[in-house]
Amino acid sequence: MKFELTIDENKEETVHAVVHKPSEFTDELELLVMQYDGSDSITAYNEDEIKLIKLRDVECITVIDGKTYVIDSTGKRYKIRRRLYEAAQELPASFIKINKSTIANKTRIERFSAVFSGSVDVIFKSGYTDYVSRRCFAEIKKELK
């Protein structure tokens, strides 16, 4: 199978696929293409509320008590109906893994703070704080240099 992507801002967006025969994959691909509306947002839930949160407003996606949540720019927590790895596959490059249960939006990070125990915390613009694992912090430092 071959894949080709051409980015040209001056042309209309089209998706052209050539396959030997229809399959479950082609059905899913068609559904994905037809449902895409050009928006960069994630559907989230909070009690009786359903909200579309723009990816630029997402501070992080984290797992708390086995459930996956989005923390938005106000620090409010919304549940999403995906596992962390599924959400990670759809995120742009501005999102980085900071520990095994959290993916952070680099553009929403205010600072890193060293803690007396020797660990490092990340503080987001909303004030939400999470820890950074040593393994992930080493990779973040390499990327920031």
Query: Which domains occur in the chain, in start order?
Result: 41-144 (2.40.50.1020)
Mean pLDDT of 97-123: 92
Q: What is the pLDDT of residues 33-74, one digit of tens each?
A: 776 656 588 999 988 889 999 999 999 999 999 999 999 999
DSSP H or E run through 105: strand 102-105
Q: Which residue has the higher pLDDT, 9 or 129?
A: 129
Look at residue 121 in the predicted model and tell me its pLDDT: 94
Look at residue 17 in the predicted model and tell me its pLDDT: 83
- Residue 135, pLDDT > 80, answer yes
| Region at 47 (left for phi over 0; alpha for psi -120 to 50; beta for the rest) | left
